[in-house]
Amino acid sequence: SRKLILMKKKIAIIGSGIAGLTVANLLKTNSDFEVMVYEKENTLSLDEGYGVQLSPNSISVLNKIGFGDIDNNNIFNPSKLNFYSNNNNKICDLDLKRFNVEPAKYTTLKRSTLIEFLKNKLFTNNIKFGKEVRRISRLKEKLLINFIDNTNDLVDFLIVSDGVFSKTKSVVENKIIRPRYKGSIAIRTVIKSPQEFNYESQNISLIMFSNAHIAIYPINKKNDLNLVCIIRQKFSQNFDIHSIIKKEILSQNSSLENLFKGSLKLWPIYVTKEPAKSIYDNLFYLGDAFYAFTPAMAQGASQSIEGASELFNLLSEGVEEIQNLYFKKRLEKTRLINSRSKLNYFSFHLSNPFMVQARNFILKKITKNEKFLDSYLGNIYQKI
């Protein structure tokens, strides 16, 4: 595409999650841009938090902004994904090391560790808190952002990355845009230095149940493990965590009771409808504001980072029709991952004994089939 004449461009980012902070850090490496992150909360949430998995595709992006310097004790590099049936029998394992491209390795860590790393890489004058968008309007070629506190910012480009419940999206598009309930919940906890543990604490364990699955993985070198349990469940205003676990998990395997002894948090799972471009050609949606995935492929955080990299590259190149190019590439990758996430989600939750037996047999075959792994996972884990 034909290059445009570049003067210093002003870019605003709404939302300070993984997507927003990653693209801010990337943009900060290019002196052609002036960057500001706006966050509606008064602080960044750096609580203990739950874990995230980052495949090599996203680590290669983070390495460009100094991720290699992070304290090694606060991250982990699992080498295998172990598949288990609901009675703790190991079915097979998948070698994760085969997707590593030095120095980008499959990495697990606390979400709060990643957010803190990204925040610390930004200057404090690159982020403003307590800023909620009231209105967006076009002013000649630029976008005027009006905040609820009656301040304004006039920018060349606007990046909206305020999550699956993005209020800014409804403001921008001038219509109510809501995600839909997926029919599942996520229960999360951190297991501190487990004494009794039936799985490999140095690797990722995926335990498959009827209508549920559990993923457990290390999030640092201090023996802390993240547990996330996805259970199919009708929506309720008042979910009872313990009765759900007892009914849906412990009824299938009572020996797992110890996994749920700690502090438990429950989230209803929402996904967005088909992604759409903004009415403004200099406005881009990023991360969960672009699309929120079914949680069965652990690609949410990685795709936020990968999308940030794609957008940064297009903005840096100064090409025409940036929105169309960005949207086309993101949509293609989103559809690819979404179809595989849905297939995983279906196969992880099988209840018919014959189908479970067939699934386990197929899993044993495909986890050792290099051609299949390269086409099913390699072009997602490695391709940027």
The predicted structure's pLDDT at residue 2: 43
pLDDT at 383: 65
- What are the Cα distances from residue 94, in Å, to 90, 91, 332, 350, 368? 12, 10, 26, 20, 7
* Residues sharing a CB contact under 8 Å with residue 339, sequence separation 6 or more, in sequence order: none
Instruction: Say how many CA atoms lie within 13 Å of 222 toward its Cβ.
Output: 11
List CB contacts of 74: < 8 A, sequence separation 6 or more. Answer: 109, 110, 113, 220, 221
Q: Would you state the structure tokens that stand for residue 367, as one six-digit string? A: 């986890």
Helices (H), the chain: 18-28, 56-62, 111-121, 167-173, 241-245, 300-317, 322-348, 353-366, 370-373, 379-381
The whole-number pLDDT of residue 1 equals 43
Sign of the dihedral through C-alpha 121, 299, 310, 39: negative
Tokens for 43?
């602080």
**Which tokens belong to 125?**
């004058």
CB-based contacts of 37: which residues, under 8 Å, 6+ apart?
Answer: 12, 13, 15, 16, 20, 21, 24, 122, 126, 127, 128
Tokens representing 252 are: 């299938």
Give 195: exposed, middle or buried? Use CB within 10 Å, 0-12, 13-18, 19+. exposed
The pLDDT value given to residue 45: 72
Q: What is the pLDDT along the chain (384 residues), one digit of tens a residue?
A: 444 455 789 999 999 999 999 999 999 999 999 999 999 999 887 666 689 999 999 999 999 999 999 999 999 999 999 999 999 999 999 999 999 998 999 999 999 999 999 999 998 899 999 999 999 999 999 999 999 999 999 999 999 999 999 999 999 998 888 999 999 999 999 998 777 788 999 999 999 999 999 999 999 999 999 999 999 999 998 999 999 999 999 999 999 999 999 899 999 999 988 899 999 999 999 999 999 988 899 999 999 999 999 999 999 998 889 999 999 999 999 999 999 999 999 999 999 999 999 999 999 999 999 999 999 998 899 866
CB 108 within 8 A of CB 217: yes
* Cβ partners under 8 Å of residue 76, min gap 6: 107, 108, 109, 217, 218, 219, 220, 221
Q: Kind and range of the H or E element at 17?
A: none
270: helix, coil or strand? strand
Burial bucket for residue 352 (CB in 10 Å: 0-12, 13-18, 19+): exposed
What is the pLDDT, as a whole number, of residue 295? Answer: 87
- Report the pLDDT value the prediction gives residue 49, as an integer from 0 to 100: 66
For the record, the structure tokens of 257 come out as 């009771």
pLDDT of res. 74 = 96
Can you say how many angstroms the Cα of residue 143 is from the centroid of all Cα atoms in its chain? 28
User: E strands, the chain, where?
Assistant: 9-14, 33-39, 51-54, 75-76, 80-84, 90-95, 107-110, 127-129, 133-139, 142-147, 152-155, 157-160, 180-191, 204-209, 212-218, 225-232, 265-271, 283-285
